[in-house]
């Protein structure tokens, strides 16, 4: 009995039109040999990496849609990641019409995979066989093999796919892996070129929002990009949240669904005290140790409680303090901290702060306007200068800010 396969011949369904990432698209097209310019003797494989919510699948679909070749899609599935050669079996099955053109030994290795032979084929014969199968198929019809979620592809299939990506000449091989907090990219050494999908800049984020029917002012776009790191899913989720926010409230940064799941798994792996200490860090106006350490102490915590987060790569040292390695850390951490705890942190910062920052902390603890705090903020305004900092949002307590409510497209 054959094993299931996770290969599909059609592109995945993605939300909305694809915009931006022109430089990354050009780079991948060149590396895959879809346009002139690939270095002589260079393989036709490339790996794309990006954090959850970066638009990786949409990017792959954009590459596939403009390839001008037949495209074979495969995708790693977490539930199948411990099944040997399941991803490769799907690829072999999709190209089975070319099996008889392979040498006998390689053909036998591929059939052993299709038959789920418990003994398994020799890995060297399997690598050569899959490479030969892909190259034979590409000789008849130019093709690109696209593999998404490589981090979930079973180890045996991953080894074979990386071999094919390194040695294919006729076929393009585009692999994509999710990376993120505490996540190490799939180890491809230095044998494959890597294209990283970072956050969108303000121009591309504005174009993405406009393409989906949102009417958002440039100042709001700039702040959303700054607070989300330009993560496309977080940008969209945050702007949708603004559309339903109370007038005069601050910016409630929101995670995309995939980001929320990954962040939850990451934060599950660190101690509860570390999450509380991180909540203090991300609430701080400056993240300077001189500001953070007294508040940690007042709450029964210490810098030692942040060390597990530093070892996990969630925060890094800077000249006078610590800073998150991902701008979405604040949203992820505060979503796990009870509102009462976050208000306690804000009040403790206010107790240790000078004007005008004290007033900002006090204002952030309130869910309704407070005349006394408003007066203090107004009085402090001349000394505040051009500061744009405000405490991060947690629950309904939001510092006041003149946000423009975007127009939401029908059905969004």
Residues 208 and 316 in one domain: no
The pLDDT value given to residue 174: 93
pLDDT at 125 over 50: yes
The number of distinct structural domains making up the chain is: 3
Long-range contact pairs involving 217-222 (C-beta distance under 8 Å, separation at least 24): 217/404, 217/406, 219/404, 220/403, 220/404, 220/406
Whole-number Å distance between alpha carbons of 301 and 155 = 41
- Residue 265 included in any domain: yes
Q: 164 and 70 in one domain?
A: yes
Same domain, 75 and 193: yes
Whether residue 301 is found in the same domain as residue 179:
no
Contact (Cβ atoms closer than 8 angstroms) between residue 295 and residue 285: no
Q: For residue 52, count other CB atoms closer than 10 A to its CB.
A: 23
Asked if the structure places residue 408 within a domain, the reply is no
**Percent of the chain predicted with pLDDT > 70:** 78
Same structural domain for residues 179 and 69? yes
pTM of the model: 0.77
User: Is it the case that residue 151 has pLDDT exceeding 80?
Assistant: yes
For residue 339, the Cα-to-chain-centroid distance in whole angstroms is 26
Residue written as token pair 């029917």: 213
Give the count of alpha carbons within 13 A of 17, CB side only. Answer: 10
In a domain, 62, yes or no: yes
Domain that residue 64 falls in: 7-197
| Residue 288, domain member (yes or no) | yes
Task: Tell whether 1 is covered by a domain.
Answer: no
- Residue 410 falls within a domain, yes or no? no
Same domain, 177 and 231: no
Indicate whether 18 pLDDT > 80. yes
State residue 122's pLDDT score: 87
Q: Are 239 and 229 in contact (CB under 8 A)?
A: no
Q: Do residues 281 and 221 both lie within one domain?
A: no
Per-residue pLDDT of 347-384, as tens digits, reads: 999 999 888 888 888 888 775 444 444 454 344 444 44
Does 166 lie in the same domain as 36? yes
Q: How far apart are CA 143 and CA 168, in angstroms?
A: 11
């Amino acid at each position: 009995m054959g094993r299931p396969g996770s290969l599909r011949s059609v592109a995945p369904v993605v939300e909305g039109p694809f915009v931006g990432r022109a430089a990354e698209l050009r780079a991948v097209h060149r590396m895959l040999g879809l346009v002139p310019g690939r270095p002589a003797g260079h393989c036709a494989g490339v790996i794309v990496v990006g954090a959850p919510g970066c638009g990786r699948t949409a990017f792959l679909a954009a590459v596939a849609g403009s390839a001008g070749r037949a495209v074979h899609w495969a995708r790693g599935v977490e539930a199948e990641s411990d099944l040997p050669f399941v991803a490769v079996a799907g690829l072999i099955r999709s190209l089975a019409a070319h099996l008889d053109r392979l040498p006998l030994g390689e053909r036998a290795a591929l059939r052993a995979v299709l038959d789920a032979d418990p003994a398994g084929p020799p890995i060297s014969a399997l690598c050569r066989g899959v490479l030969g199968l892909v190259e034979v198929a590409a000789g008849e019809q130019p093709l690109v093999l696209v593999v998404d979620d490589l981090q979930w592809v079973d180890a045996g299939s991953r080894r074979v796919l990386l071999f094919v990506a390194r040695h294919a000449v006729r076929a393009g091989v585009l692999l994509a892996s999710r990376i993120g907090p505490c996540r190490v990219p799939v180890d491809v050494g230095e044998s494959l070129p890597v294209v990283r999908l970072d956050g969108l800049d303000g121009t591309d984020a504005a174009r993405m929002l406009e393409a989906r029917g949102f009417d958002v002012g440039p100042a709001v776009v700039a702040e959303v990009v700054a607070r989300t790191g330009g993560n496309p899913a977080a940008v969209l989720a945050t702007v949708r949240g603004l559309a339903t926010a109370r007038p005069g409230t601050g910016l409630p940064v929101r995670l995309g669904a995939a980001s929320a799941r990954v962040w939850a798994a990451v934060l599950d792996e660190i101690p509860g005290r570390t999450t509380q200490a991180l909540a203090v860090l991300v609430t701080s106006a400056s993240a300077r140790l001189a500001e953070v350490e007294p508040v940690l102490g007042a709450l029964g915590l210490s810098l030692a409680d942040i060390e597990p987060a530093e070892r996990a790569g969630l925060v890094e040292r800077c000249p006078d303090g610590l800073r998150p390695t991902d701008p979405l850390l604040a949203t992820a951490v505060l979503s796990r901290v009870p509102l009462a705890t976050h208000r306690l942190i804000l009040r403790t910062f206010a107790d240790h702060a000078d004007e005008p920052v004290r007033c900002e902390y006090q204002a952030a603890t309130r869910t309704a306007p407070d005349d006394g705090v408003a007066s203090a903020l107004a009085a402090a305004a001349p000394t505040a200068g051009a500061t744009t900092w405000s405490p991060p949002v947690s629950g309904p307590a939001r510092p006041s800010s003149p946000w423009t409510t975007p127009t939401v497209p029908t059905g969004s």
